[in-house]
Structure 1
Amino acid sequence: MKNDPEAVGFVPMRAAVNGLVLGLLLAVASPAIATPEYILPTLFDVTGVAANDVLNIRAAPSASAEIIGTLSHDARDIEVVGYDETGRWARINTGERSGWAALRYLAYQVDVWEPGALPPTLNCRGNEPFWSFRPRGDAMVFSTPDAPESVMRIEQVLSTGMFRDPRRSVSAKGENLRMTGVMVPVACSDGMSDRSYGLDVTVILEGRGEPQMLTGCCSIAPN
């Protein structure tokens, strides 16, 4: 690794919602990258880096590009959201921006997208208005800046049945609030940072006045 330039040393409403879910799940949504093994985004672990070395995160997919961060030799749960055109570099986030790490030093995890389930590290958010949701056990926690957290019981999680396909719909219901969210693996931007996301989400929220359609991005990187 010391001689490797990629390392540091170098009802009508319900019918409409159901229709939206079905349409988005069946739409021709081009995943970021698909291989026989996995579809992005998914989580990877650093591999093949010496214990006294690190893996560079670079500003561009090139061994000569500026180093903007590093990953330890045993770093885990690295979310990869895309590849460069050569397939040799993985797009990942570091801080409030995205960068690139050499894919040959990353090994994908095999149990991130289980059928009919959500990754426990899922975190979705949007703005205009600001909102977020995340799973907590068998519940969904929905938050906005001007309202307390709403904890809803997850009623159903749907997946396509394709091997390790991240596309999901989730429905959850609380005492006074109900949400249906559909996540699709396409490039997404939060419009507020230089971070890159691999999941686009559309949410139908009911119970706070008129039903709302919210849009945003999701990450599966641990906080």
Structure 2
Amino acid sequence: MLRTTLALTLALAGPAAATQEYILPTLFDVAGVATGDVLNIRAEPNAQATIIGTLAPDARRIEVVEERRGWGRVNTAEASGWVSMRYLAYRTDVWQPGALPAGFRCLGTEPFWDARPEAGDLVLRSPEDQAGDRRPVQTVLDTGIFRDPARVVVARDVTLFAQPQICSDGMSDRLFGLSATIVLHGDQPRLLSGCCTIQP
């Protein structure tokens, strides 16, 4: 009887224990804020901290890059701040197997570069090449872990690695939830580093 009870308990607890709601960074919608009110973005993760921005009561697809004691870090203008997670509902449609979210892009400095998927290509841009160098994407790899944001984008002569990690662009007070490493193959291999965002 004990063995049967234990097996039944594990069977019932197994799927729930294995299901994780989300791994950051991911996107949220503002929820539970009255029409005509706003959700405050504060300088620190507490209700007494200075307000540095606001989110509308119907704001959607807000990227949260870090969570601390019921507060989530978001970017606003050129700064990073905190909102109460009580008023955010996570989206289940963000990290799909073998795919990138619609707003996915990476950027770096020294040298300046920008990379984003467009119409089946990974497009690399620099201040000298605003049109961009288009590289056909061959595959997007994920870890197989449910809703894990880690991705590897394999394109012609380039591999982009995006890993969950707090990352600074070095040019603003914004913080990002994904670090980026790009390996450019070919006659003159190069390594670029930076950050990625999924904010639309």
Q: Does 1:162 align with 2:141?
A: no
Q: Which residue of 2 aligns with 1:153?
A: 136
Q: Tell whether the 8 Å contact from 1:120 to 1:137 is kept in structure 2 after alignment.
A: no
In the alignment, the residues of structure 1 paired with residue 101 and residue 46 of structure 2 have an alpha-carbon distance, to the nearest angstrom, of 31
In the alignment, the residues of structure 1 paired with residue 115 and residue 38 of structure 2 have an alpha-carbon distance, to the nearest angstrom, of 33
Q: Which residue of 2 aligns with 1:49?
A: 33
In the alignment, the residues of structure 2 paired with residue 116 and residue 182 of structure 1 have an alpha-carbon distance, to the nearest angstrom, of 14
**1 or 2, which has the higher strand percentage?**
2
1:215 alignment partner, one of 148, 171, 193: 193
In the alignment, the residues of structure 2 paired with residue 158 and residue 52 of structure 1 have an alpha-carbon distance, to the nearest angstrom, of 42
In the alignment, the residues of structure 2 paired with residue 55 and residue 120 of structure 1 have an alpha-carbon distance, to the nearest angstrom, of 24
In the alignment, the residues of structure 2 paired with residue 185 and residue 203 of structure 1 have an alpha-carbon distance, to the nearest angstrom, of 15
Q: Which residue of 2 aligns with 1:203?
A: 182
The normalised TM-score by structure 1 is 0.79
In the alignment, the residues of structure 2 paired with residue 213 and residue 141 of structure 1 have an alpha-carbon distance, to the nearest angstrom, of 16
Report runs of 4+ in structure 1 exceeding 4 Å deviation: none
Q: Which residue of 2 aligns with 1:188?
A: 167
The normalised TM-score by structure 2 is 0.88
Does the residue aligned with 1:187 lie in a helix, a strand or coil? strand
Which entry has the higher C-alpha Rg, 1 or 2?
A: 2
Note the C-alpha offset of 1:131. 0.7
Q: Which residue of 1 aligns with 2:13?
A: none
In the alignment, the residues of structure 1 paired with residue 33 and residue 102 of structure 2 have an alpha-carbon distance, to the nearest angstrom, of 28
Q: Does 1:76 align with 2:55?
A: no
Note the C-alpha offset of 1:120. 1.6
Q: How many residues align?
A: 181
| RMSD value, Cα | 1.1
Q: Which residue of 2 aligns with 1:32?
A: none
In the alignment, the residues of structure 1 paired with residue 34 and residue 128 of structure 2 have an alpha-carbon distance, to the nearest angstrom, of 48
| Alignment gaps of 5+ in structure 2 | 1-18
Does the residue aligned with 2:60 lie in a helix, a strand or coil? coil
Note the C-alpha offset of 1:206. 2.6
Q: Which residue of 1 aligns with 2:83?
A: 101
| Alignment gaps of 5+ in structure 1 | 1-34
Does the residue aligned with 1:104 lie in a helix, a strand or coil? helix
Identity of aligned residues (%): 55
Residue deviations 1:1-24, cap 9 Å, x none? xxxxxxxxxxxxxxxxxxxxxxxx
1:144 alignment partner, one of 126, 138, 141: 126
Q: Does 1:123 align with 2:102?
A: no
